[in-house]
Structure 1
Amino acid sequence: MGAQRGRDLLLKLDAAQSGSFLSVAGLRARRIALSAGTVDVTTADSPGRWRELLEGAASRSASLSGSGLFRDAASDAAVRQLFFDGSIRPWQVVIPDFGQLDGLFQVTALEYAGRHDGEMTFELALESAGALSFTAI
């Protein structure tokens, strides 16, 4: 996989849960982090007293964050309402030349900022709230 433009990573929301995803915002910076915890099963009898992990038992999660400009008033309102309601909705992340991640996420942080001589910006954080699927492109 060669270098890709960061702007090509897309964050989409299905606010109505209708199966129709729309781009939420003009994100200038985006980040996705996939993580898996471990389950330590080390005992006094472990060979050489090396740590042993239980395969396939860890909990997995995904965190998404982005900052930038909302596309329009409707996308701003949709994300803001999800935050205040604590709602969990389907989101889609398209990673160029890699794949697409689909699943349920909750908006866990929403920040607004603006300078007197600039545009209003936002920062958004999402946490996975269920099983995710990955489709290679």
Structure 2
Amino acid sequence: MAAQSGKDMLLKLDQNGSGSFLTVAGLRTRSLNFNAASVDTTDQESAGRWRELLAGGGVKRASLAGSGVFKDQASDALIRSLFFAGTIRNWQLILPHFGVVQGLFQIVALEFSADHAGEVTFDLALESAGEVTFAAA
């Protein structure tokens, strides 16, 4: 498989809960992280005193992050309103030639910054708030 262009990795937000997704405009970087906490079941009878883990146990979570510049009033305004209201909404991350990650996420951080001689930028962090699915391309 050939290398994939980063510009094709898209973060999309369900605008009003109806399944109508809007691409978050102006993003220069995007990232996705999956984590799973393990459940230690080691006891005095564990073979060789090696740690044992419970298969399928623990809590899974996904984190999405992005940063960029403001370009689109519709997505910018929606992101700000969702953050200040603490709203959980359906999001998608399109991974080119790989698939789509989708689920409920809450915006947990929204940061604005600017340089005197540059553009206003923003950083966005989301945490999963329910089951996250993956559909292969």
- What stretches of structure 1 move > 6 A for 4+ residues in a row? none
Aligned residue in 2 for 1:11: 11
SS at match of 1:56: coil
SS of the equivalent of 1:16 reads coil
Rounded Cα–Cα distance in structure 2 between residues aligned with 1:129 and 1:25: 23
**Helix, strand or coil at the partner of 1:83:** helix
Which string of whole-angstrom CA distances, capped at 9 and with x for unpartnered residues, describes residues 67-116 of structure 1? 00233112111000111000000000001111100100000000111112
With normalisation by structure 1, the TM-score equals 0.96
Gaps in structure 1 of 5+ consecutive residues: none
Cα RMSD for the two superposed structures: 1.0
The secondary structure found in structure 1 opposite 2:106 is strand
Separation (CA, whole Å) in 2 of partners of 1:48 and 1:5: 48
Aligned-pair CA distance for 1:7: 1.6
User: In 2, Cα distance between the equivalents of 1:57 and 1:6?
Assistant: 34
Count of matched residue pairs: 137
| 1:109 alignment partner in structure 2 | 109
Aligned to 1:124: 124
Identical-pair percentage: 58
In the other structure, the counterpart of 2:98 is 98
Q: Could you report, residue by residue, the CA deviation over 1:50-72 in whole angstroms, capped at 9, with x for unpaired residues? A: 00000011211000101002331
CA distances 1:23-52 after superposition (whole Å, capped 9, x unpaired): 012211111101111000000100000000
One-letter code aligned to 1:23: T
Instruction: For 2:20 and 2:54, locate their aligned partners in 1 and report how far apart those are by CA, in whole Å.
Output: 39
Is the 2:30–2:66 Cα contact (8 Å) retained in structure 1?
yes
